[in-house]
């Protein structure tokens, strides 16, 4: 069963190795930790629902609890301490379009809010019930998970929107195809969630981001059905798919999604290279992309991430392999690991590997074979389980991400890391921060930052520390010219930065679109565009550039 207060299945663990424990214990001072709240106790504290339990609405406290929060760090802090700010008053599990339409109608007549819910893997507060006097219903689409149409001739497949990553790949792989969308949350996140948050999979350079894969579908709204046919391209005015992408449950329920698919690749391998300096690795990566070399993934870790992830993997073999000969060659200190994915038809992949290797070599990259890349691939969906083990040993982990043009990447990475470190150093707290570059484009790349700290026994202290770091990092990102999110989306945690990102006209336009589709403000209020508070400071963040 899915963990109620952490990541993944109860029966899957990724324990911290002795080596990792030792490494972290050396960095952080031990603090006493209270044990986590027990689900039975939290269930006891769930308030009554205004709705009665029936075939249509599930008001069981456990179901409501399991749909109350997502996967962000503040969500974890609240879940683990048993303090749930607001629960949905009922959960609805539709199995047909008619049931979704009936739910929309019920939410309207009962004057409730309605939150569309895919896998609940949001890390920015997308699915958390808003502060409101009105009842809140959550619409969990996990039973809406069928392959509706497979169109081999046109390389298209249509699915119900609640289908998860593994279910999609099982269906398509059996027919010799793949969608190729592999976010790290693949195990639980859903097709509808990916579209609604503009998700990006790890091999997006080869397969495309979700906006490239999303070809059409059906959105059920208060204005009626919006059906978008899968034209290969169209000049008929505004592309309505763009209204749905990133709509974060504010304009309707995505019931069906048509995606473009690819035949299963003939060849796929992940290779490792070490660079003596991050700057050389970054230059190699930029040249690979700008020379249109057909790689499927690049992931360049900075020196701190290289060291930490090798240690956290707990695999002595991996460390031995990664350390082999490196001292002698001078790659040990500050070495940065590049994992390079090559995917596709054999004829093209061998050329791609040769061309990419040549560029890496010119920039001083040391080829380290396939072992590290193969290990990365094997554990890529298991790595999130480490977060559970870290928490249990007293450590909190959070991530944030952005994207920017190549000319700004270095500054944005440095400034964001400095901002997070400064918040902690001012208070005399230790923090471990590191980053990697991935999701590359000819014009720029995304930067992904991870930070780990020893949590306090006091959940309020942890929340405050998270808030300070999040705000400092978000401001640094905006000031240095990055987007507030490359793929996690806006949710409730980033909505205060939308004025800066989109400008007042842009925000007004998005608000008008949500109002057009949902004039009564029923659908997921607070996500994407925040509520308007009386205190102006709460509406947006004051940023002096």
Which residues are near ligand FAD by CB under 6 A? Answer: 7, 70-71, 115-123, 126-127, 141, 161, 183-185, 189-190, 192-194, 196-197, 199-200, 248-249, 253-254, 384, 487-489, 524, 527
Characterize the bridge pairing of strands 136-140 and 90-92. Answer: parallel
Residues pairing with 338 in the sheet: 273, 300
Closest CB 532 distance from ligand FAD, rounded Å: 19
Q: Which residue is nearest to ligand FAD (CB)?
A: 193
What is the spatial distance between Cα 7 and Cα 9, in angstroms, rounded to a whole number? 7
Closest CB 324 distance from ligand FAD, rounded Å: 30
Q: What is the separation, in whole angstroms, between the first and last Cα of the chain?
A: 47
What is the spatial distance between Cα 291 and Cα 217, in angstroms, rounded to a whole number? 35
Q: Which is nearer to ligand FAD, 254 or 293 (CB)?
A: 254
Closest CB 505 distance from ligand FAD, rounded Å: 23
Closest CB 190 distance from ligand FAD, rounded Å: 3
Closest CB 106 distance from ligand FAD, rounded Å: 17
Hey, what are 462's tokens?
Answer: 């942890």
Q: Which is nearer to ligand FAD, 296 or 357 (CB)?
A: 296
- Contact assessment for residue 336 and residue 300, using Cβ atoms and an 8 Å cutoff: yes
What is the spatial distance between Cα 73 and Cα 70, in angstroms, rounded to a whole number? 9
Characterize the bridge pairing of strands 262-263 and 177-178. Answer: antiparallel
Q: Which is nearer to ligand FAD, 199 or 349 (CB)?
A: 199
Say which DSSP state 17 is in: P
Q: Which is nearer to ligand FAD, 201 or 281 (CB)?
A: 201
Neighbours of 472 (CB within 10 A): 19
User: Which has the closest alpha carbon to 358: 442, 281, 299, 284?
Assistant: 284
How many degrees, rounded to 5, is the angle at CA 318 between CA 16 and CA 29?
35
Residues pairing with 444 in the sheet: 405, 441
Q: Which helix (H) or strand (E) element contains residue 485?
A: none
Q: Which is nearer to ligand FAD, 34 or 224 (CB)?
A: 224
Q: Which is nearer to ligand FAD, 189 or 480 (CB)?
A: 189
Q: Which is nearer to ligand FAD, 161 or 432 (CB)?
A: 161
- Contact assessment for residue 138 and residue 127, using Cβ atoms and an 8 Å cutoff: yes
Q: Which is nearer to ligand FAD, 230 or 263 (CB)?
A: 230
What is the spatial distance between Cα 408 and Cα 400, in angstroms, rounded to a whole number? 17
- Contact assessment for residue 74 and residue 460, using Cβ atoms and an 8 Å cutoff: no
Q: What are phi and psi of 15, to 5 degrees?
A: -65, 155
What is the spatial distance between Cα 404 and Cα 437, in angstroms, rounded to a whole number? 11
User: Which has the closest alpha carbon to 306: 327, 278, 283, 282?
Assistant: 278
Closest CB 321 distance from ligand FAD, rounded Å: 25
421: left (phi over 0), alpha (psi -120 to 50) or beta: alpha
Closest CB 480 distance from ligand FAD, rounded Å: 22
Q: Which is nearer to ligand FAD, 315 or 494 (CB)?
A: 494
Q: Which is nearer to ligand FAD, 118 or 130 (CB)?
A: 118
Q: Which is nearer to ligand FAD, 73 or 293 (CB)?
A: 73
Locus of tokens 């991996």: 318
User: Which has the closest alpha carbon to 248: 300, 199, 186, 201?
Assistant: 199
What is the spatial distance between Cα 435 and Cα 487, in angstroms, rounded to a whole number? 16
Q: Which is nearer to ligand FAD, 120 or 365 (CB)?
A: 120
Hey, what are 124's tokens?
Answer: 């920015």
Characterize the bridge pairing of strands 267-275 and 366-367. Answer: antiparallel
User: Which has the closest alpha carbon to 81: 37, 123, 126?
Assistant: 37
């Amino acid at each position: 069963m899915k963990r109620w207060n952490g990541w993944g299945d109860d029966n899957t663990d990724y324990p911290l190795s002795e080596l990792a424990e030792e490494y972290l214990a050396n960095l952080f001072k031990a603090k006493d930790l209270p044990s986590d709240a027990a689900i039975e106790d939290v269930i006891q504290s769930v308030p009554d629902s205004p709705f009665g339990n029936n075939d249509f609405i599930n008001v069981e406290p456990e179901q409501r609890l399991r749909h109350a929060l997502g996967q962000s760090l503040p969500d974890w802090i609240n879940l683990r301490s048993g303090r749930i700010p607001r629960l949905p008053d009922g959960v609805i599990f539709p199995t047909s379009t008619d049931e979704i339409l009936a739910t929309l109608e019920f939410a309207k007549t009962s004057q409730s809010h309605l939150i569309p819910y895919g896998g609940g893997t949001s890390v920015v507060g997308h699915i958390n019930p808003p502060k409101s006097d009105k009842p809140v219903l959550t619409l969990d689409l996990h039973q809406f998970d069928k392959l509706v149409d497979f169109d081999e001739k046109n390389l298209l497949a249509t699915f119900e929107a609640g289908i998860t990553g593994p279910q999609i790949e099982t269906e398509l792989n059996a027919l010799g195809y793949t969608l190729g969308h592999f976010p790290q949350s693949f195990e639980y996140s859903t097709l509808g969630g990916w579209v609604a948050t503009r998700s990006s999979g790890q091999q997006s350079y080869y397969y495309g981001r979700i906006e490239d894969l999303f070809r059409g579908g059906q959105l059920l709204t208060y204005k009626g059905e919006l059906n978008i046919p899968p034209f290969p391209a169209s000049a008929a005015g505004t592309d309505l798919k763009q209204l749905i992408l990133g709509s974060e449950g504010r304009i309707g329920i995505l019931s069906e999604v048509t995606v473009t698919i690819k035949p299963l690749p003939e060849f796929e391998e992940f290779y490792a290279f070490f660079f003596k300096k991050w700057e050389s690795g970054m230059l190699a990566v930029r040249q690979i992309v700008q020379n249109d070399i057909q790689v499927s993934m690049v992931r360049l870790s900075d020196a701190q991430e290289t060291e930490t992830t090798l240690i956290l993997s707990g695999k002595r073999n991996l460390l031995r392999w990664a350390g082999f000969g490196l001292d002698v060659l001078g790659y040990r200190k500050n070495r940065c690991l590049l994992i390079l994915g090559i995917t596709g038809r054999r004829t093209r992949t061998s050329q791609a590997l040769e061309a990419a290797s040549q560029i890496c070599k010119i920039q001083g990259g040391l080829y380290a074979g396939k072992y590290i890349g193969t290990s990365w691939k094997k554990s890529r969906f298991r790595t999130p389980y480490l977060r559970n083990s870290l928490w249990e040993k007293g450590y909190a982990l959070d991530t944030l991400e952005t994207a920017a043009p190549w000319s700004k990447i270095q500054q944005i990475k440095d400034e964001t890391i400095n901002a997070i470190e400064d918040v902690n150093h001012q208070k005399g707290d230790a923090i471990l921060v590191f980053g990697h570059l991935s999701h590359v484009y000819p014009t720029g790349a995304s930067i992904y930052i991870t930070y780990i700290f020893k949590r306090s026994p006091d959940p309020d202290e942890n929340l405050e520390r998270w808030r300070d770091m999040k705000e400092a990092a978000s401001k640094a990102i905006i000031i240095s010219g990055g987007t507030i999110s490359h793929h996690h989306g806006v949710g409730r945690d980033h909505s205060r930065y939308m004025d800066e990102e989109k400008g007042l006209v842009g925000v007004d336009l998005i608000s008008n679109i949500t109002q057009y589709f949902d004039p009564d403000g029923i659908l997921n209020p607070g996500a994407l565009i925040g509520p308007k508070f009386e205190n102006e400071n709460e509406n947006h963040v004051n940023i002096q550039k």
